[in-house]
Amino acid sequence: MGKVAGHLEASLTCNSRSVVLKQLDWRPDRNGAARIVLSPRHARYPASLLMMKAEDAEEADESLNSGITGL
């Protein structure tokens, strides 16, 4: 299981055939589920999208910081 800052957990199902995401602040639905279960193929898309957006955010931050002088 992997944790991100104590807020998001990523693990595998019992048979290790699917990826489970659990956000610790989510409230269970009427079926008791407070998680997202994805096939490996479907898990790759949001993972790739998050990586792209993280890179965009880092680039934006670098551009803003490069314009700051005299600090």
Q: What is residue 68's predicted lDDT score, i.e. its pLDDT?
A: 62
**Is position 49 within any domain?**
yes
**Is position 40 within any domain?**
yes
Report pLDDT digits (tens) over 10-20: 889 998 899 98
Report pLDDT digits (tens) over 14-61: 988 999 888 877 777 787 778 888 999 999 998 898 899 989 999 888
Pairing of strands 19-23, 2-4: unpaired
The three-state DSSP-derived secondary structure of the chain is CEEECCCEEEEECCCCCCEEEEECCCCCCCCCCCCEEECHHHHHHHHHHHHHHHHHHHHHHHHHHHCCCCC
Check whether 4 has a pLDDT greater than 70: no
**Is position 25 within any domain?**
yes
**Is position 29 within any domain?**
yes
Q: What is residue 3's predicted lDDT score, i.e. its pLDDT?
A: 64
Q: What is residue 34's predicted lDDT score, i.e. its pLDDT?
A: 81
**Is position 71 within any domain?**
no
- The parent domain of residue 9 ranges over 2-66
- How many domains does the structure of the chain reveal? 1
